[in-house]
Amino acid sequence: MTRLPTLLLLLVFTGSLGLALGASTVFARRLDRLGSRLGWPEALVGLLTATAADAPELTSAIIAIAHGSAAVGAGVVVGSNLFNLAAMVGAVALVTQVPIRIGRKDLIEEVGVALAVTGSATLVVAGLLPAWVGLAACGVATFLYIEGLDLPRRAPASLRLRAKAIGIAALELPAIALITLGSLGMVRSALVLADRWSVSDAVVGLVVLAWLTSLPNAFTALRLGLAGRGDALVSETLHSNSINMAGGLLLPALFVTITGVSAGSLGLLFGLTALTLAPLAVRGSLGRRSGAAIVLAYAAAAAVLVSGGP
């Protein structure tokens, strides 16, 4: 790919981007509709749609790290998580003009999983915890979270759920393959273009790939916000960030040393997360004023990181 003309590389990048985003958007919508039809809790719907919409972010980070560009891969994870908070919660609160609401119990459960995953990833990246221990902690936290959900218990619903799940798995395998293929082309072409144009790894990971691969999550969040489904929106946002940390940092850490994640960047991520969750914890809702504060704080954090800050 390094020998391809710049124009052709741009076509590869845009085509790969469209392929990955289109496939993940279809995947997320199908899971959301399935959960709604079967009466799943909004928290579980948020978890499933986050898993589907996260595919471009996750595969791009893993591919970049496997390609030897650990700084770009780590940048995708941190940049996507920051962007998710700003776009999925802050911007949606501004655009929809409808306060985002979530129950106190649901919020505590969501935050518990997020803290377990993000804390484990931070300790692993800092070299204070083996990667397998971090992944095990994430698995236990996720298992306890799902066990605590109010899932349908009746036999007919359970049988229907199994049948639908098998059908979704079969239908979505091609979508997963397309997402992976698109992410591969997008990352490789982006790295070559960045080298030709002397663009730093920080900009490629934290901004370009982070923004573009997060678009499915942003679209899904807007749809949930317009429908007044605050529980699912907050759930998808927090789970999306947790999935990025576990899959984009912890999983690769089993095989390679993760670099490019500074204490300062993680501090900014924790700070923006706290700013996002504070109004939800205090008032149970998040309105336009808080949304504007989140977006402005994100812009400041992104500027600091891209300029070579903490």
Set out the domains of the chain in order of their start, with CATH numbers.
Answer: 6-306 (1.20.1420.30)
In this structure, the number of other CB atoms found within 10 A of the CB of residue 299 comes to 11
Each residue's pLDDT expressed in tens, for the chain with a length of 310 residues: 677 888 898 999 899 888 888 887 777 777 777 666 666 676 677 677 777 777 788 888 888 888 888 888 888 899 999 999 999 999 999 988 778 988 888 888 889 999 999 999 999 988 899 999 999 999 999 888 877 776 555 444 455 555 655 665 566 677 777 888 888 888 888 888 888 888 888 788 888 888 888 888 888 888 888 888 888 889 889 988 999 999 999 999 999 888 778 888 889 999 999 999 999 999 889 999 999 999 999 999 988 888 876 6
Per-residue confidence (pLDDT) for residue 36, from 0 to 100 = 66
Nearest Cα residue to 208 out of 302, 95, 304: 302
Token pair 């007919």 is found at 156
Interatomic CA distance for residues 143 and 146, integer angstroms = 5
State the Cα–Cα distance between residues 189 and 193, nearest whole angstrom. 6
Residue labelled with tokens 């999935």:
243
Q: Residue 87 has what pLDDT?
A: 94
Listed residue (24, 22, 3, 25) closest to 14, CA to CA? 22
Closest Cα to residue 293, out of 93, 90, 92, 96? 90
Supply the pLDDT for residue 92.
Answer: 94
